[in-house]
Structure 1
Amino acid sequence: MRRAAPCRTLGAIRRERRVPRPMRHSHDNEPLSVGFVLLRRFTMMPFAAFVDCLRLAADEGDRSRQLRCHWVFMTSGGHDAMSSCGAAVTPCSPFRDPRDFDYIVVIGGVQDEHDAVDEAALHYLQRVAEAGVPLVGVCTGVFALIQAELMNGRRCCVSWYHHGDLTSRFPDIEPVADRLFIDDGDRLTCAGGIASADLAAYLVERHLGKAWAMKSLHIMLIDEARRGEHPQPQPVVFDKVADRLVRRAITIIEQHLGEAITVDELARRVGSSRRNIERKFREELGIGPQKFARDLRLRYGLWMLHYTAKSVTEIGERCGFADTAHFSRHFREAFGDTPTAMRKAAQRGETPVDPFFLHIASREGAGG
């Protein structure tokens, strides 16, 4: 069997020709080559999810040879990369010629205004862009792309957790916090976390075929790749709910925030009767499942008003309400103001109602 040509040899050929590396697809039979730029205190989860997806697609089984995929870890000066959790990645290479790679993936780190900017890394990212090599900003890696002035006029995907920080630091950039990743051709941005595996699988499928992408995900115990427009999980937190049946019902409700799931359907899915599920909700939470689900959908709407640019009409539809008037009426009853007024308050930096949390205290033994 012929061994695939090493990444550096391919890169050397391209440098001699002085042409940007073209976008390749699965029929080209060349290995997928990825360079990782690991910034100071980079976040381990998105890095590990991305590179492990490549590793598992690169070889048969779990043998980890860099056959179908090549990857290189790079830092300024080639020093070891220290992650936010204290684990170090070694060995790392100094920055290489961008033409060695199909993609340069930037893994961002903890955002601290007192940290010095890695100017060498920013200059390298500018070189990558000039060479026509696609840049991938993962987690807070998108902050580095913005600092390198490579995201002007573009949307960028960011985690809901970093949305506020990004908008305050870079008010001219349009952040998107209601999806997993955005493919904008030569710029790809990802919210981070386990969504990095979804983006890596997306690129593996593009270059090597769907079978290799699914092989990686299945070994990682991920059922299927989520598309870029898949919504991010919303930061809704509940106080302790002791009853197992109620917890299962809440999980189902969370997974169907875009539709008004009926109590009968909810009872069927948890294997209970309508009467029993209503009784348990009232004993545990003090309200019935229907009101609980509606309150949760309204809370989801409140979150989108704060962290997306969607219109009130779009948000009402995403929250499962029949029309804008229906959504606005219930919203005002729940939060004391209209969706439009609440959005304006959020834009002024005010938060009359915390969009992150829905606290419903457990009512042990309470009736109702």
Structure 2
Amino acid sequence: MTVHRVAVLALDGVTPLDLAIPTQIFTTRPETSYEVTLCALEAQVATTAGFALIAAGGLEQVRTADTVIVPGFEPILPLPDAALAALAETRDRGARVVSICTGAFALAAAGVLDGLHATTHWKHLDAFERDFPAVTVDRDVLYVDEGDVLTSAGVCCGIDLCLHIVRRDLGAEVANQIARGLVAAPHRDGGQAQYVPAPVAVAGEASLSGTREWALHRLGEPLTLRVLARHAGLSQRTFMRRFTEETGTTPLQWMLNARLGRARELLETTDRSVEQVARDCGLGTAANLRLHFRRALDTTPTAYRRTFTRSNSASTSRSPACSRGVPPL
């Protein structure tokens, strides 16, 4: 596979978790072609956690990377002219530019987001909208995909965005493998409005992750709300409330996303007919699968298979139709 160079540009005051997300997801693996380099203006970078990092690369690597990612940082402004110039050059030469959390402030200050939709951490949305009127702010999404310019909301939404990028580049199977290694959800539905301060769950309530894991191994079965609630040992009303609190979406929408994800894996890795894939992932008929594929991905199962079969997934340069906001699984 052709090497895809990823430069993670750490600015002073970088948030360690924001930084760790892309360096972990894009680290070199046998099934990927990514080569990630931590870059900074100076060799030593201060973090918000009180310790410093040593960067292996500088702006030279940023200027030659295929993808440049800016993690969140504090203080947000002002920013070094050299960093802004490098980001503007990256965009001008057609490379992919990505931000996590408040990293969007750097992209906006460099003019990369002018005329585009973008998002950032919910705490900073008002300031972002005020400081960058040329950017259309999407407030209730986990991330925004504008093709070669992508932004995520706060902190852990960077996981969603980076897995989305892997899914675009290499398909659902590889993205799901990486997600499983991170013990992370391959895809979360819903917007970041669910993370604005709200009453916390009652102390002592057990997670429903066991039921979700159980359901993922039975996607081909008729899993109704009643069946899921029975497995969790809860009333349907309590199960619905707890499930929505934990995932930000309803059980039935979560099941649909999970089934679409399974369908994508089967289309990529097997030669089963579209009808068989629909049955195996629990969507019933080929017509139903086509309907949900069209709604979620703006493509057909057959076209998706042509794009992401094993023989065609070697290059990270190809991506299917992108969308604003949280794309379906």
* TM category, shorter: 0.5 to 0.7
Q: Tell me the equivalent position of 1:47.
A: 19
What's the secondary structure of 1:182's corresponding residue?
strand
Write the mapping of 1:50-89 to structure 2, written as runs, cut at 5 A.
50-55=22-27, 58-60=28-30, 68-76=33-41, 78-89=42-53
Which deviations, in whole Å up to 9, do the C-alpha atoms of 1:91-128 show, x marking residues without a partner? 33220155632211112311355xx4211101111111
Which deviations, in whole Å up to 9, do the C-alpha atoms of 1:234-259 show, x marking residues without a partner? 324327845748x98xxxxxxxxxxx
Of 8, 12, 18, the residue aligned with 1:36 is: 8
* Percent identity of paired positions between Structure 1 and Structure 2: 24
Tell me if the contact between 2:39 and 2:62 (Cα under 8 Å) persists in the aligned partners: no
Q: Tell me the equivalent position of 2:180.
A: 218
What's the secondary structure of 2:88's corresponding residue?
helix
Change (3 A) 1:211 1:182: same
Q: Tell me the equivalent position of 2:90.
A: 128
How far apart, in 1, do the equivalents of 2:229 and 2:168 lie?
41
How far apart, in 1, do the equivalents of 2:235 and 2:88 lie?
61
What's the secondary structure of 1:96's corresponding residue?
helix
1:30, CA displacement in angstroms? 1.1
What's the secondary structure of 2:89's corresponding residue?
helix
Q: Tell me the equivalent position of 1:173.
A: 135
Change (3 A) 1:150 1:112: closer
1:220, CA displacement in angstroms? 0.6
Change (3 A) 1:94 1:243: closer
Q: Tell me the equivalent position of 2:71.
A: 107
Gaps of 5+ in 1: 1-28, 62-66, 249-263, 279-288, 297-368
Change (3 A) 1:218 1:171: same
What's the secondary structure of 2:69's corresponding residue?
strand
1:209, CA displacement in angstroms? 3.6
Gaps of 5+ in 2: 209-225, 246-329
User: Aligned partner of 1:238: which letter?
Assistant: P
How far apart, in 2, do the equivalents of 1:150 and 1:265 lie?
48
1:218, CA displacement in angstroms? 0.6
What's the secondary structure of 1:189's corresponding residue?
strand
Q: Which has the larger radius of gyration?
A: 1
Of 86, 99, 106, the residue aligned with 1:144 is: 106
Of 86, 92, 96, the residue aligned with 2:56 is: 92
How far apart, in 1, do the equivalents of 2:155 and 2:48 lie?
13
Which deviations, in whole Å up to 9, do the C-alpha atoms of 1:299-340 show, x marking residues without a partner? xxxxxxxxxxxxxxxxxxxxxxxxxxxxxxxxxxxxxxxxxx
1:60, CA displacement in angstroms? 4.3
TM-score for the superposition, normalised by structure 2? 0.59
1:156, CA displacement in angstroms? 0.5
Which deviations, in whole Å up to 9, do the C-alpha atoms of 1:64-106 show, x marking residues without a partner? xxx7210111112x32122211232213322015563221111
Of 137, 140, 150, the residue aligned with 1:188 is: 150
Write the mapping of 1:1-368 to structure 2, written as runs, cut at 5 A.
29-55=1-27, 58-60=28-30, 68-76=33-41, 78-96=42-60, 98=62, 100-111=64-75, 116-226=78-188, 230-232=190-192, 233-238=194-199, 241=202, 244=205, 271=233
How far apart, in 1, do the equivalents of 2:132 and 2:17 lie?
25
What's the secondary structure of 2:147's corresponding residue?
coil
Aligned length: 228
Change (3 A) 1:244 1:137: closer
User: Aligned partner of 2:195: which letter?
Assistant: Q
How far apart, in 2, do the equivalents of 1:243 and 1:128 lie?
49
User: Aligned partner of 2:38: which letter?
Assistant: F
Tell me if the contact between 1:198 and 1:225 (Cα under 8 Å) persists in the aligned partners: yes
1:221, CA displacement in angstroms? 0.5
TM-score for the superposition, normalised by structure 1? 0.53
How far apart, in 1, do the equivalents of 2:5 and 2:171 lie?
15
1:172, CA displacement in angstroms? 4.1
How far apart, in 1, do the equivalents of 2:167 and 2:235 lie?
44
Change (3 A) 1:240 1:157: closer
How far apart, in 2, do the equivalents of 1:236 and 1:41 lie?
24
1:215, CA displacement in angstroms? 1.8
How far apart, in 2, do the equivalents of 1:125 and 1:37 lie?
9
What's the secondary structure of 1:218's corresponding residue?
helix
